[in-house]
Structure 1
Amino acid sequence: MFLIPFEPKPQSRPRSGKFGVYEVPEMARWRKKVTDFVKQNYDGRYFDGAIKTEVTFYMKAPKAMAEQPKPRSRQKKRDEYARFIAEKIPYAKKIDLDNLEKSVYDSITSSGIVWEDDCLIVEHRTRKLYSPSPRIEIEIEEVE
């Protein structure tokens, strides 16, 4: 398992201007940060054949969910907070999984040290969960 300790960001749509098509600067900075992190910290094997991945995107929670319940809070609030701390609450919001995958897979491909290209992924499992510690966890396995 490889941990990328940055808040997940979905791949943005390309923009066009008078000088052509470009990527939003914030997205380009995030992808460079992830690529640089992978280059500096990945010590696993290099994949050049069919692979499968399992990725979990741990997403930042809304303030109301992340706030510790008061002593007089209702049981429902205390239960929700306990599930949040245990990272058991699915993130069923606007950000699409495919856009999250694209941003992280393209960043990893740019590192040049994990796989030849993300087109090698033939099987994947992906999920989004709320977390007090936003990050990305990825497992990569060769398909035989």
Structure 2
Amino acid sequence: MITFTIPGQPQGKGRPRIGKVGQHARMFTPGKTVAYEGLIAHSAQQAMAGRPMFDGPVACNLFIDCQVPASWSQKKQRMALAGEILPTTKPDADNVVKAVYDGCNGVLWRDDVQVIEGRQRKRYSATPCVRVEVWSLLEPVTQAVLEAA
């Protein structure tokens, strides 16, 4: 299993934009998304520590820890940190998943189509980040086969 943390406030993947280059329209990814995916790739690469990419199906859990709004009262902030108030605001969990999976392409796995199982959980935290757990779904099968042999 590989685990790592992406520091800072979680960000969702931005929608592609259309810009003009001369006479032609061109799709591009917003700069904020490119920078966040670079941070994700860097964090994942450090966690891999030279290991080869996952080859085959993987599972991935994401723990999305959002910043508590500073404008909230102390009481409301304590309630949020205790899990009594849950983050039903931006970023959308599915867009955070897209950003993390795309940022891990070519670092943890060849392509995010390899992720066939997983879950995400979004909560408030004093330290905003995304914690990632990734593991191969082939290893338990291989281990069971070896033990049976």
**TM-score normalized with structure 2 length:** 0.75
Stretches of structure 2 that go unaligned for 5 or more consecutive residues are: 142-149
Other-structure match for 1:140:
134
Between the two proteins, the alignment pairs up a number of residues equal to: 131
Other-structure match for 1:17:
19
CA distance in 1, matches of 2:111, 2:32: 23
Check 1:18–1:113 CA distance in 2 against 1; reply closer, same or farther (3 A cut): closer
Choose the corresponding residue for 2:66, options 55, 59, 63.
59
Other-structure match for 1:123:
117
Is the CA contact (8 Å cut-off) linking 2:6 and 2:39 kept in structure 1?
no
Check 1:45–1:63 CA distance in 2 against 1; reply closer, same or farther (3 A cut): same
Secondary structure class of the residue paired with 2:108: coil
Choose the corresponding residue for 2:55, options 27, 31, 48.
48
Is the CA contact (8 Å cut-off) linking 2:67 and 2:125 kept in structure 1?
yes
CA distance in 2, matches of 1:55, 1:47: 17
Is the CA contact (8 Å cut-off) linking 1:2 and 1:42 kept in structure 2?
no
Check 1:27–1:55 CA distance in 2 against 1; reply closer, same or farther (3 A cut): same
Check 1:53–1:40 CA distance in 2 against 1; reply closer, same or farther (3 A cut): closer
Letter in 2 for 1:27: T
Stretches of structure 1 that go unaligned for 5 or more consecutive residues are: 70-76
**TM-score normalized with structure 1 length:** 0.78
Secondary structure class of the residue paired with 2:53: coil
Q: Does 1:97 align with 2:103?
A: no
User: Structure with the greater relative contact order (CA < 8 A, sep ≥ 6): 1 or 2?
Assistant: 1
Is the CA contact (8 Å cut-off) linking 1:88 and 1:129 kept in structure 2?
no
Structure 1 residue 54: deviation in Å?
1.0
CA distance in 1, matches of 2:101, 2:84: 24
Among all aligned residue pairs of Structure 1 and Structure 2, give the percentage whose two residues are the same amino acid.
Answer: 28
TM alignment of 1:31-46, pairs within 5 A: 31-43=37-49, 46=53
CA distance in 1, matches of 2:28, 2:89: 27
Other-structure match for 1:73:
none
CA distance in 2, matches of 1:34, 1:121: 16
